[in-house]
Amino acid sequence: MTALKAHEVERFLLRPDLTEGVFLVYGPDTGLVRESAQRLTRQFAGGDAGSMNLVTLEGSDLDSEPGRLLMEARTISLFGEKRVVRVRGAGKSLVISLSEILDDPGGAAIVLEAGNLTPKDALRALVEGKKLGRALPCFPDSDETLLKLINETFSKAGIRAEQDVATTLRETLGNDREVTRRELEKLVLYSAQSKRLTRNDVLLLCADNAALVLDEVIDAIGTGHAARLEEALNRAIAAAINPQQLLGTTQLHFATLRRWRAEVDLGKSPRDVLEGARPKPHFSRKASLEQQLRLWSDDAISAAAERLHTATADSRKRYELGDMIVRRALLAVCMMAAER
């Protein structure tokens, strides 16, 4: 039985321990699921997307004809190459066909793409329970993995990014891998000649006002203005900022606020703390941030951070209720400020 952990997936993609069998790529991050499935497909079929030994099928088509998967897996390549079958939107209707393939793949590699599956899901349980099955979970990027991807992308392209570029991108992009890749490609193309990137470049090319909207959300929460928070959240949704990005950015803000608050507790004024902050907050936010440093004690920030941490865990466990969980958590923290 092999159930990979999320942190083990990258190593597996670089060097799979199987050359045949069924490979289930699943999770809530559809962009990362697609990217990981593409990488596996290239590992097994090579870089030729038009290769005769590679077949791509849609799960919806197989629902009415599940036996086709077995037929495609058993088809012998004219040139003796490995048979690779990729299935997008795979579902439990394939379980019977996959059971037979897992018992005897015949040299074929079946790469499945699926959504967020629970441990009890029939498809996931089948693949994880077989010797020739591998299940690869794909969860939204953490701050650590996102920063690593950003830095590796720029380093590979020979681009020198200013110190606050990676942080700004982390706050702007959210954690959908497909969106992140697309935005990074845009920045690499933009910097192809100059080989330099600044924070203003990022805001100009990627933010689409998202950074400004996020600041509005954060400052409404931090100063306890529920009505402003509601307006800012509606603007964020209109700007296609996902709830997980809102939650992650708010957590990052309160972690920063706590660090600043520690300096205030040591005797510095809020203004002096903000003047010495790196990267320095935008001048338009100074009044709000000074107010937050006066409103929030270290204990209160700790309580808010715990509330946000709980919401993160709950929203990942109950993905379908994620939007509601995030909204409630942000409003709860906002009310903590209003009561101070």
Query: Which architecture, in CATH terms, is 210-338?
Result: Up-down Bundle (1.20)
**Parallel, antiparallel or unpaired: strands 84-88 and 54-58:** parallel
Give the per-residue pLDDT at 142. Answer: 79
Helix (H) or strand (E) holding 13: helix 9-14
Give the per-residue pLDDT at 256. Answer: 95
Q: Are 12 and 4 in contact (CB under 8 A)?
A: yes
Tokens representing residue 52 in the block: 């005769």
pLDDT averaged over 10-residue windows placed end to end, the chain, 340 residues = 81 92 92 91 75 83 86 75 88 91 92 92 94 92 84 92 85 74 89 90 72 86 93 80 88 95 94 88 84 95 94 84 89 92
3-state SS assignment for residue 23: strand
Domain 6-137, CATH number (from 3.30.830.10, 3.30.200.20, 3.40.50.300, 3.30.499.10): 3.40.50.300
CA distance 257 to 76: 62
Measure the N-to-C terminal CA separation of the chain; round to a whole number of Å.
53
Q: Are 290 and 274 in contact (CB under 8 A)?
A: yes
Query: Closest Cα to residue 1, out of 134, 137, 108, 138?
Result: 134
